Amino acid sequence: MKNLFLCFALTISTLNAVSQTYEWSWNVLGTPPIGNFYNFDDIKFVNDTVAWVCDIAGNIYKTSDGGLTWSNQKNQSGTSFRCLAFIDDQKGFAGTLGPGSWVNSTSDTVVMYSTIDGGDNWIPVTNIPNNLPIKGLCGMQTVGNNTIFAVGRYDGPAVVLKTTDAGANWVSYDTDGLAESLVDVHFFDNDTGLVCGRDLNDSSIILYTTDGGENFTTVANEVGDHIWKLFFLDRYIGYAQISIYNSGSRYFMKTVDGGLTWSKVFYTTDEFVGLGIGFFNESIGWAAGEGEFTYETRDGGATWDKIRMDNGNYDDTGNRFVKGPDSTLYAIGRRIYKYEKTLVPDSISTHISSHPNYVDNSKCKISFSPNPFSGEGKIAYTVPEDGHVTILITSIGGRKIEYLVNKKMKAGDYTLDYNPSYNQKYVGCIISIGNYRKSVVILRPGGNNAPRNY
């Protein structure tokens, strides 16, 4: 749900009579290499300084200084490295696209490579089961200490690979005919997660599992060629970018309940092939893909502007957004980018930080009962400190519906009757006070989701 509570932190400073302004922006990270075949395909950090990127021209690069410099660890003609996963700074895996794709030069049939020495050497993984056909892999994710999920490929067949012992053993699952192909994966723990791609009718699809991939259910099925990338701000709020190759409106999908339900967010009618999706918070985010520009929102998706992430001689082919170990946001396209505050000389003697540092801990609470409900319910909430409190009802897409509370209050526990006149099936309820913020999704069975509210 859209964060309507952006605040500006202003501090006065003067240095030799010339002040500095902090501005948030996308910057090229260090002196990165150039991603071949349109862009880089994956980037993975294991700590604040060590990371790898790969491309489908057969390259794997590593940084040990937070991205300031990159070294080419692998350049293998005929191999298309597509995705990465690492257990630690020594042990990792690289999935390949495999032959028979749009990359005509790909001849390597090895599905996955591994390293146990930080990427100095990569060898084929030979213990992948052959009970299902696997042409290649497009997405990989490490969960916890020893579990890795991998999915592929973009043009089929749809296969899920999993190891729970750091690669000593692998198992493979199909999707029971629900998907023709898979592109990306996001698991919350060893059992619960999502995979995305395309179904048997050439529509985009998101599947949900609660048993580690043994069984899936369809939670989103929309017009589009693929669900290309998944991105989650936290356990509940996530986004899915849709690749659409024909004409028409471009949109992505948003969830606020951990992937159980999804709603559309439209961002342009331009001829634009969506690839990557990323958000800094619920207000500020980017829809990226094949094109000269990236689409940026600063109001949770209500309005969009075209920006350039790369001001060099490169298009904005934004393929993936990721959060580093310190929650810093990175993106990959033709080059590697970092979203950060930079100092800009200015004649105004203020420092401006346009992004809040919200505190989201147990001192701020909100809940709704009964949930699901029909008719009337009660909202219980905790105000952690004296101050101005807002409680806002929004649509699932983040649009404001109404304020229930908008006033100064004392710290304490409160309850509020809720008997809405509208009939949305899902709404969000957000409490904000100072730097504290919490939200809950309210469900009314039998309600409707009017498109104008999304």
- Kindly tell me if the per-residue pLDDT of 420 is higher than 70: yes
N residues, the chain: 454
Instruction: Tell me: pLDDT of 434 over 80.
Output: no
Q: Which residues are within 8 A (CB) of 369 and not within 5 positions of it... i.e. 6 or more apart?
A: 377, 378, 380
Which pLDDT belongs to residue 13?
32
- DSSP code string of 315-373: --B--EEEE-TTS-EEEESSSEEEEEEEEEEESS-EEEE-S---B-STTSEEEEESSS-
Sequence-ordered list of residues with C-beta below 8 angstroms from that of 335, at least 6 positions apart, any chain: 28, 29, 32, 33, 34, 35, 40, 310, 312, 314
Q: Give the pLDDT of residue 315.
A: 77
Interval 86-95 mean pLDDT: 97
pLDDT exceeds cutoff 60 at 16: no
Choice between 359 and 324, residue whose per-residue pLDDT is larger: 324
Q: Is the pLDDT score of 442 beyond 60?
A: yes
CA atoms within 13 A on the CB side of 189: 6
- What's the rounded mean pLDDT across residues 274-284? 93
Residue with tokens 């600063």: 298
Q: What is the pLDDT of residues 201-230, one digit of tens each?
A: 888 999 999 999 999 999 999 888 889 999
Examine the pLDDT at 14 and tell me if it is beyond 50: no
Mean pLDDT score of the chain, rounded to an integer? 84
Q: Are 70 and 63 in contact (CB under 8 A)?
A: yes
pLDDT for res 445: 67
DSSP secondary structure string, 173-227? Answer: E--TTS-SEEEEEEESSSS-EEEEEE-TTS-EEEEEESSTTSS-EEEEEESSSEE
Q: What is the mean pLDDT of residues 242-249?
A: 79
Q: How far apart are CA 160 and CA 139, in angstroms?
A: 10
Top-confidence residue, 125 or 351: 125
Within a 10 A sphere around the Cβ of 216, how many other Cβ atoms?
A: 25
Q: How far is CA 361 from CA 238, 358, 381, 383, 437, in A?
A: 20, 10, 13, 12, 8
Residue 362, pLDDT score: 63
Residues 168-194 pLDDT 10s: 999 999 998 999 999 999 999 999 999
Confidence category of residue 280, pLDDT binned at 50, 70, 90:
very high
Mean predicted confidence (pLDDT) in 106-127: 96
Mean pLDDT of 47-55: 94
How many whole angstroms separate alpha carbon 44 and alpha carbon 322?
Answer: 8
* Residue 109 clears pLDDT 50, i.e. is over it: yes
Separation of alpha carbons 284 and 3, rounded Å: 9
Residue 356 has pLDDT above 70, yes or no: no
Confidence of residue 423 (pLDDT cuts 50, 70, 90): low
Higher per-residue confidence, 81 vs 308: 81
What is d(CA 324, CA 310) in angstroms, rounded to the nearest whole number?
20
Tokens of 359: 């505190």
Which position has the token pair 């393929």? 319
- Lowest-confidence pick of 258-262, 321-325, 395-399: 395-399
CA 74/CA 129 separation, integer angstroms: 26
Binned at pLDDT 50, 70 and 90, residue 354 comes out as very low
pLDDT at 347: 36
Q: Please say whether the beta carbons of 320 and 140 come within 8 A.
A: no
Provide the pLDDT for residue 18. Answer: 40
- Among the ranges given (166-170, 318-322, 386-390, 441-445), the one the predictor scored with the smallest mean pLDDT: 441-445
How confident is the model at residue 5, as a pLDDT? 32
Residue 312: pLDDT above 50? yes
pLDDT at 233: 93
What is 29-86 written as a DSSP string? -SS--PPSTTS--EEEESSSS-EEEEETTTEEEEESSTTS--EEEEE-TT--EEEEEE
Average pLDDT over residues 100-123: 91
In the chain the domains, ranked by start, together with CATH numbers, are 9-345 (2.130.10.10), 365-453 (2.60.40.1930)
Does the pLDDT at position 329 exceed 90?
yes
Q: Are 440 and 366 in contact (CB under 8 A)?
A: yes
pTM of the complete model: 0.72
Is pLDDT above 50 for 159? yes
> In this predicted structure, what is the pLDDT of residue 104?
73
Terminal Cα distance for the chain, rounded:
10
pLDDT in tens, 361-418: 567 888 888 887 777 889 999 988 888 888 888 765 555 677 888 888 899 999 998 8
DSSP code for 20: E
Average pLDDT over residues 54-74: 94
